[in-house]
Amino acid sequence: MFDSFFELVFGCPHKNTTFPLTARGGIYVACLDCGKEFAYDWKAMQIGEPVATRPNTQAVPLRRPA
């Protein structure tokens, strides 16, 4: 669950993120370790404030070809 004592005490450092994605009216990145999403400033190439996630989002199961 936690990779290190540091992460347990201070939380996820969000160092392992996706490439900037465009959706929901903006550009954002997602942390691959904890799943939190952040706004992304393409001009400054920096991660910004956390993005509010939709509370009723559910995973859609993948369909396997017959």
Structure confidence by residue, pLDDT tens digits, 7-63: 556 778 888 888 888 876 788 898 888 888 889 988 898 888 888 766 555 556 667
β-pair type (37-41, 46-50): antiparallel
Q: Which residue is listed with tokens 């465009």? A: 22
Q: What tokens appear for 62 in the block? A: 């993948």
CB atoms under 10 Å from CB of 54, counted, come to 7
The predicted pLDDT at position 50 comes to: 86
The predicted pLDDT at position 13 comes to: 80
